[in-house]
Copies of this chain bind each other. A is one copy, B any other.
């Protein structure tokens, strides 16, 4: 099989295209012929060699992808050749409480990822994807899609009529806009550019705050939603958390997802205590969540937003595009076709 692999180190210079022996499925495994992959911010952290000691070369990168079942082990009962499936981001998290060593089961580091023409996974490590999705769209489900789903479903699950504030317009944010609308919520999004504002509105956001025109977005939120918002999807990090706390309603929930603006946040405790906020970290999610996401996308015929797409041989350019952060939608790689 063909794969891209970090060899001898990280960085662009160590990302090599290699020919590897075809993987062989065990009795409870499926062999996938990969069709597409998708990139997430975390893949850049891996590329930069900043993901900690457990993520070491040689390593096939990328957690998100979709493939067609090419062969099944003798004890496989639920899947058959031709089924199109995504592997779960965490191969060791089926449902409910995460295992103590969750990190051990992560694709794209420490486990080999999906940027290859063939992969093997346990039958219980994959989920069927809806037919209406293109390969590139389906490839975005395991991380970006599931993170958005988990953020909205985290107890207490979003209710019809509630207001959800989504900070930003990255891959998770765009999927969250679509899913929050499907769940009946009112959706407000902040973005840094007028161009993105128009596209997010077209995706279904009820209100978009363009931070280039309205730098004090929190004040604008308080005007729009004087009682405070029910749920904030905190995709920013250190720079945005204080304002996220400021705009949440009494008893509201702040879903901590990202830290792109910095790791060291300031937490003003009286604000959190007086309004009885819950700050809940969501890291992707479990396999049953991925299956529920697939069902919801199917029922609503939702298409995840795909941005720039690259051929398998141009995989390094996909990382460059991710670094540049200029696009709109998930950056994808076609593996076959």
Which B residues lie within 8 Å of A184 (CB)? Answer: 182-184, 296, 299-300
With both beta carbons as reference points, the residue of chain B lying nearest to A265 in the complex is identified as: B267
Known: A160-B300, A272-B281. 8 other contacts (CB 8 A): A157-B159, A160-B182, A160-B299, A265-B267, A265-B269, A267-B267, A274-B283, A276-B281
> Do A278 and B279 touch across chains, with their CB atoms under 8 A apart?
yes
> Do B298 and A161 touch across chains, with their CB atoms under 8 A apart?
yes
Find residues 138-190 in chain A having any chain B CB closer than 8 Å to their own CB: 153, 155, 157, 159-162, 179, 182-186
A213 at the interface (CB under 8 A from B): no
A303 at the interface (CB under 8 A from B): no
A99 at the interface (CB under 8 A from B): yes
> Do B288 and A273 touch across chains, with their CB atoms under 8 A apart?
no
> Do A161 and B283 touch across chains, with their CB atoms under 8 A apart?
no
Which B residues lie within 8 Å of A257 (CB)? Answer: 273
Sample (26) of A-B pairs whose CB atoms are under 8 Å apart: A26-B27, A77-B104, A94-B96, A95-B95, A95-B96, A95-B288, A98-B250, A102-B250, A159-B296, A160-B182, A160-B183, A161-B292, A161-B297, A184-B296, A186-B299, A241-B269, A256-B269, A257-B273, A259-B269, A264-B267, A265-B267, A266-B266, A272-B279, A272-B281, A275-B281, A276-B282
A270 at the interface (CB under 8 A from B): yes
Which B residues lie within 8 Å of A297 (CB)? Answer: 161
The 7 closest A-B pairs by CB, nearest first: A161-B296, A95-B96, A94-B94, A161-B295, A95-B95, A259-B269, A160-B296
> Do A103 and B274 touch across chains, with their CB atoms under 8 A apart?
yes
A237 at the interface (CB under 8 A from B): yes
> Do B281 and A277 touch across chains, with their CB atoms under 8 A apart?
yes
Contact with B along A196-208 (1 / 0, CB 8 A): 0000000000000
Which B residues lie within 8 Å of A270 (CB)? Answer: 259, 263
Which B residues lie within 8 Å of A182 (CB)? Answer: 160-161, 184
**A97-B98 in contact given A273-B256, A281-B278 (Cβ < 8 Å):** no
Shortest distance between the CB of A142 and any CB in chain B (Å): 17
Contact with B along A296-334 (1 / 0, CB 8 A): 111110000000000000000000000000000000000
> Do A283 and B273 touch across chains, with their CB atoms under 8 A apart?
yes
A194 at the interface (CB under 8 A from B): no
Checking B104, B157, B272, B278 against A278 with a beta-carbon cut-off of 8 angstroms, the contacting residue is B278
